[in-house]
Amino acid sequence: MKISKIALAAIAVIALSANAAPQHQSGAHGAAGHDMTNMQSMHKSSPNAAKAPYELQFLDTMAMHHQMAMHMASLVETRSASEHLKGMAKKMMAEQEKEIAQLKGWKEQWYAGKPDAVNMKMPGMSESMKGMTGDKLTSAKGEQFDRMFVDMMSQHHKGAIKMAQTAAPKLEHAEVKEFANKLVEMQKKEVAHMAEMKKSSAKK
């Protein structure tokens, strides 16, 4: 199975995240053997995450959220029947890899040395994890995969939107506030686009 370098990096990060703590990106190499079920079980809150500065919780938790989306998107190339969906997944992975680097850069700038603060209880995280039937997704192909992927990614995006909307008024730095507001706008458009894709597919 051919997997892009971006996908390998994302999956390697996930494989190294035993406690769901985002790690600093490096030239990561790893085997792509983790399905969504295993990924779901390893995503737990960092110790004392709720006691960390709220903005740090947002930076770490959103980075982990993006890594989850990248893992899902990495499956599209070899399983999807849709060239349009493949293109969308590649674009999504490139954008989210860039945003993960941005989130981690801000963490280094303002919270260097602070413990990881992934908080799976932040608003939107429980919604993001709903319906993540990873074993079914990784075994599906063609149109069945496409339908499942669109449903799961739409749900995942809605969780990110809720997290960013809730966080924005509480964030300390203007850069992070702007990031959260842009994320809401961009992911709402992607959710609407996926809804149209699903509607078009149903008409066929």
- For residue 20, the domain's CATH number is 1.20.1260.10
Express as a percent the part of the chain with pLDDT over 70. Answer: 75
Q: What is the pTM of this model?
A: 0.79
Boundaries of domain holding 146: 5-203
pLDDT digits over 106-153, tens only?
999 999 999 999 999 999 998 888 766 556 778 889 999 999 999 999
How do residues 11-34 score in pLDDT, each as one tens digit? 333 333 333 333 333 333 333 334
Q: How many domains does the chain have?
A: 1
Single-letter code of the amino acid located at 125: M
Contact 2, 26 (CB under 8 A): no
DSSP calls for 81-125:
S-HHHHHHHHHHHHHHHHHHHHHHHHHHHHSTTPPP---TTSTTH
What average pLDDT does the structure give for the chain?
81
Question: What is the maximum alpha-carbon separation in the chain?
Answer: 54
Q: Rounded to an integer, what is the distance from CA 124 to the centroid of its chain?
A: 12
What pLDDT, on a 0 to 100 scale, did the predictor assign at position 26? 34
| 94-104 pLDDT, tens digit each | 999 999 999 99
Better pLDDT: 162 or 132: 162
